[in-house]
Amino acid sequence: MEYRTKLRWKAAALAALLLLAFALPVAADSVLRRGSTGDAVVTVQKKLKQWGYYTGAVDGIFGSRTEAAVRYFQRKNGLTADGIVGKKTAAALGITLSGESKAGGAQSGSDGDVYLLARCIHGEARGEPYKGQVAVGAVILNRVRSSAFPNTISGVIYQKGAFSVVSDGQINLTPGDSALKAARDALGGWDPTGGCLYYYNPQKTSNAWILSRPIMLRIGNHVFCK
Amino acid sequence: MSSSSARRARKRLRISGYLLFALLVSVTGSAILYGEQRQRIDALESELDGYRLYVQNEAESAARDLNTSLVDLQTNLRKLSAAATPAQHARLLFEVRRLSDAAGGALGRLSISHADGRDLEQFLTRTGDYADTLLDSVQSGVLLSAADGEQLTAIGTQCEALCGAINDRLASGLLPMGAVTPDDYYTAEPNADALPAYPSLRYDGPFSESSETAEPKGLPAETVSETRAKDIADRAFPDVTWRFDGRCDAAIAAFDFSGENGETLSVTERGGKLLYWMLPASGDSDEPLTDDALLRLKSSAASYLTGAGFGAMQPTVSVSYAGRAVIGFAAVQNSVVLCADTVQVYVDRVTERVVGLDARGYYAHHTVRRLPAFTLSEQDARDAVSLSLQIESVTPCLLPKCETREVACYECRGTLGERTYLVYINAATGTEESIRELLRTDSGETLL
C-alpha cells in the first residue's frame, strides 16, 4: 500500500514536470522600463517633473535619469524602488499603461532617428571604442547623404542585407547610454571617418568586393573605407 | 511458494512496474514532443511559404513600380525637348525629380545586391539632383541650354534601355533577387544579370563629381609628418598623453590620436591644423539650457575661436546634450556671413570651458572670397519676404548652392505664429533662394 502511494506521488510529480516542460505559459505585464520610448514615457516624465521628482528633458526616452526619478518616486510612495513603471507605480502616478510603448519602439521625428541610430550602433559596435561607435553612426549618416544609398536613416539601416544586426534581430536590443550619446554625436556632425561609406571587421570578412575598397582608417576592430 | 520466492516475485513485479511506467512516460512524452514538433514545423513551413510569397510579390510589385516610374521619367524627358517656356520646363523638371525619387524608392524595395544596385541608385539620385539644379535656374527665367538638352536626351535613352531590361526580367520571371542577408549585400563578382551600366552626368549639384573630389580650400598645400602632427597635439593639450591611432585618408587627410581618458584629436596632414578634438565633459546633463547659460557658453566658445585664430565668426544654431552645448559658428567677411565655412564648438556645461571642436566645414571651404555685389538693399529683401512673416533681422550672407557656387543672399529671420523661419532672398534678383525652419526643442535648435 505504501509503495503504491509513493508510486502515485512519483507519477503525479512526473506528470507535473511534463506539464511544466510542455505547457507552462509565461505571462508578462506591460511595463515601462529603461530603454522604453514613446508617448507613455512622455506622460510618466511629465508627471514626475510636475511633482518635482524629475529634472531631465521630457523626450519620451526612458533613460538613466528617468529611471532614477522613478526610483525616487517609488521610495517616497512606499513602492518597491525598482525603477520600473508597472501597474502599481502607474496607478500611483495616476496613469494607465495601455501597452502601446515598447522597448526599442518607433518614435516620431528626430528623437526617433536618434533612437534608431543608437540601436544600430549598439548592435553593430557595442564593445568598440566610443570613437568607433560614433564612426558607425557617421557611416550610416554618410550613406544617407550619398547618392548611392537611400535618403533616410531608416532607409539606410533597413536596406536589405546592409547591416547584420537587422538580419539577426540585434537591432531590437535596447541601446546603452554610450550608443545613445554616440548617435547624438554623429547626428551633431562628428564624423571620425571623414566621409566613409563602409566598414567591416577584417577578422570576420572574406568578401572580395568589400575587401577591395580603399581603406581610410581603422578604429578598434573595424576598418572604414570609401 | 516460499516467502523468499514471493519477495523476489514482488520485487520483479515492482521493477517491471517501474520499467513499464518509465517506458509509458517516455513513449507518451516522445509522442507529445513529436506531435508538438511536427505541429511547429508545419506551422513554420506554412509561415515560411507565406513570407516567401510575400517577398516574391513585393519584388514583383517593386520591379513594376520601378518600370512604371522609368517609363514616366522617359516620357517627361522627351516632353522637355519639346517645351519652350521656363514655366513648362519647370513643371516637367519637377516631375523628373519626383519620378527619380519614386524610382529610387522602388529600387530600394528590390532584393538586389548592393554592389549590383548602387550604380542604378546613384544614377536615379543624380538624375533627380540634376533636375533640381536645372529647376533652380529655369525658375529664375533661364531656358535650358543645348548641353542640358543633350544630357536630358542621354538620360532618356538610358531610361529606355532600363525599361527594356526590366520588362525582359518581368516577362521571364528572372527578377534580381538575393540580397537578404549581409553575406548577399556585397557580391564578390558583378552579377551577370545585373542591370545595365549608366552614364555619369556632367552638372554641378550636391552629387556631382566635383563635390566628391573637392580639395579642402581652407588648408595650405604644405604637409606635415606624423611626428610633427604629434608635436602639434602635444602642444595643444600638454596634459594628455596622445597615442597615434592611424591616418585618415578622407577628403581632408588627417592623423588621428587618442588619449587615455577618451580624448580624441585629428591633425590635418595639410597645414597641421586641429581638424577635430574632443575631451570628456564633466557632467552628463540633458536639461534644457537657460538663455543666460547659453549666452555664457556662446561667449566662451567665441573667445576660444578668437584665441585659436579663426577670425570673425558668428554663432548660428546650438544644441545641448550629454553635459555639453554644441554651438555652431559661421565665418564672416566684411559683415557677410559665409554659410559654408562652419565650425562647431563643444562647451562643458558645468565648467563652461571649451571641450571640443569640429572644424571640417571651415577647413573644407574657407578662403577669402571676392564678394559679389549686393544689388538689392536690405529693405528690398524685407519687401520680398512673405507679408505673413514678422521679420526680426536681416543679414547678408553667401549661401552655398553646390560645391562650386555660392549666391549672395539676405538671410531674413522671421516668425510666423510660434515658428521661426530663415528666408534667403537673392541679393541680385530678389527671388527666394531657400527657406529653412528653425526648430526649437528642449535640446536646442535644429534647421530643417
Structure confidence by residue, pLDDT tens digits, B101-125: 898 888 877 777 766 677 778 888 8
For residue B446, the chain A residues in CB contact (below 8 A) are 110
Q: Which of B58-67, B145-154, B207-216, B231-240 has the highest mean pLDDT?
A: B231-240
pLDDT band, residue B262 (cuts 50/70/90)? confident
Beta bridge partners of B447: B438
- Whether residue A158 lies within 8 A of chain B, CB to CB, comes out as no
- Whether residue A216 lies within 8 A of chain B, CB to CB, comes out as yes
Task: Give the chain B residue nearest A11 (alpha carbons).
Answer: B21
pLDDT band, residue A107 (cuts 50/70/90)? very low
Mean per-residue pLDDT, B430-440: 86
Mean per-residue pLDDT, B282-297: 82
Q: Is the pLDDT of residue A19 over 50?
A: no
Write the residue in A148, A207, A210 that is nearest to B118 by C-beta. Answer: A148
* Contact across the interface for B129 and A163, Cβ inside 8 Å: no
Write the residue in A110, A130, A147 that is nearest to B126 by C-beta. Answer: A147
Percent of chain B whose predicted confidence (pLDDT) is above 70: 88
Give pLDDT, residue A15.
Answer: 46
Sorted by sequence, the CB contacts under 8 Å of residue A45 that are 6+ apart come out as A54, A56, A57, A58, A59, A60, A66, A69
Structure confidence by residue, pLDDT tens digits, B338-370: 998 999 999 998 898 999 999 988 998 898 988
- pLDDT: which is higher, B142 or B135: B135
Instruction: Work out the mean pLDDT of chain A and round it to a whole number.
Output: 76
Q: Angle at the Cα of B191 (from B187 to B195), degrees rounded to 5?
A: 120
Using CA atoms, how far residue A217 sits from A128, A132, B131, in Å, is 15, 11, 35
Q: Is the pLDDT of residue A106 over 60?
A: no
Shortest Cα distance, chain B CAs vs residue A218, angstroms: 7
Give pLDDT, residue B180.
Answer: 56
Give pLDDT, residue B212.
Answer: 64
Q: Is the pLDDT of residue B296 over 80?
A: yes
- pLDDT: which is higher, A87 or B186: A87
Q: What is the rounded end-to-end Cα distance, in angstroms, of chain B? A: 101
Write the residue in B17, B180, B264 that is nearest to A131 by C-beta. Answer: B264
* Contact across the interface for A193 and B182, Cβ inside 8 Å: no
Structure confidence by residue, pLDDT tens digits, A123-170: 999 888 888 999 999 999 998 888 778 878 888 888 877 888 887 778
pLDDT band, residue B94 (cuts 50/70/90)? very high
Give pLDDT, residue B66.
Answer: 86
The phi and psi torsions of A151 (rounded to 5 degrees) equal: -95, 5
* Contact across the interface for B278 and A217, Cβ inside 8 Å: no
Sorted by sequence, the CB contacts under 8 Å of residue B242 that are 6+ apart come out as B230, B233, B234, B257, B258, B259, B263, B265
Q: Is the pLDDT of residue A27 over 50?
A: no
Using CA atoms, how far residue B222 sits from A149, B225, B267, B365, B368, in Å, is 35, 10, 13, 17, 19
Task: Give the chain B residue nearest A198 (alpha carbons).
Answer: B186
Instruction: Work out the mean pLDDT of chain B and round it to a whole number.
Output: 84
pLDDT band, residue A104 (cuts 50/70/90)? very low
- Whether residue A189 lies within 8 A of chain B, CB to CB, comes out as yes
Q: In B213-346, where does DSSP find H-type helix?
A: 226-236, 291-307
* Contact across the interface for B276 and A189, Cβ inside 8 Å: no
The architecture CATH gives domain A109-225? Orthogonal Bundle (1.10)
* Contact across the interface for B179 and A190, Cβ inside 8 Å: no
- Whether residue A27 lies within 8 A of chain B, CB to CB, comes out as no
Structure confidence by residue, pLDDT tens digits, B71-86: 888 888 888 888 888 8
- pLDDT: which is higher, B399 or B262: B399
Cell numbers placing A148:
548611392
Task: Give the chain B residue nearest A56 (alpha carbons).
Answer: B287
Lowest mean pLDDT among A1-10, A68-77, A118-127, B433-442: A1-10
* Contact across the interface for B183 and A217, Cβ inside 8 Å: no
Could you say which residues from 48 to 77 on chain A have a Cβ atom under 8 Å away from some Cβ of chain B? Answer: 55-59, 63, 65
Task: Give the chain A residue nearest B317 (alpha carbons).
Answer: A188
Write the residue in A22, A194, A208 that is nearest to B188 by C-beta. Answer: A208
Residue ranges of chain A that CATH labels 1.10.10.2520? 109-225
Cell numbers placing B144:
535650358
Check if CATH label 1.10.10.10 holds for domain A39-93. Answer: no
Distance CA B392, CA B377 (A): 16
Mean per-residue pLDDT, A115-128: 90
For residue A209, the chain B residues in CB contact (below 8 A) are 115, 186-188
Q: Is the pLDDT of residue B99 over 50?
A: yes
Domains with residue ranges and CATH for chain B:
45-212 (no CATH), 226-365 (no CATH), 378-447 (3.10.450)
**Following DSSP, what letter does each residue of B391-445 receive, concatenated?**
EEEEEEEEEEEETTEEEEEEEEEEEETTEEEEEEEETTT--EEEEEEEEEETTEE
CB distance A147 to B100 below 8 Å: no
Give pLDDT, residue B356.
Answer: 92
Distance CA B365, CA B218 (A): 6
Percent of chain A whose predicted confidence (pLDDT) is above 70: 80
Lowest mean pLDDT among A22-26, B262-266, B285-289, B416-420: A22-26
Pick from B347, B340, B345: which is nearest to B363 by CA? Answer: B340
Give pLDDT, residue B314.
Answer: 92
Interface test with A, best of B321, B345, B363 (most A CBs within 10 A): B321
- pLDDT: which is higher, B25 or A57: B25
Give pLDDT, residue A173.
Answer: 82
Q: Which of A136-140, A186-190, B317-321 has the highest mean pLDDT?
A: A136-140
Distance CA B206, CA B317 (A): 23
Distance CA B397, CA A118 (A): 35
CB distance B300 to B347 below 8 Å: yes
Residue ranges of chain A that CATH labels 1.10.101.10? 39-93
Neighbouring C-beta atoms of residue B200, cutoff 10 Å? 11
- Whether residue B249 lies within 8 A of chain A, CB to CB, comes out as yes
Give pLDDT, residue A109.
Answer: 40
Task: Give the chain A residue nearest B128 (alpha carbons).
Answer: A147
Q: Is the pLDDT of residue A18 over 70?
A: no
Mean per-residue pLDDT, B361-384: 89
Q: Is the pLDDT of residue B148 over 80?
A: yes
Write the residue in B189, B247, B321 that is nearest to A217 by C-beta. Answer: B247
- Whether residue A204 lies within 8 A of chain B, CB to CB, comes out as no
Q: Is the dihedral of CA B84, B88, B90, B96 positive or negative?
A: negative
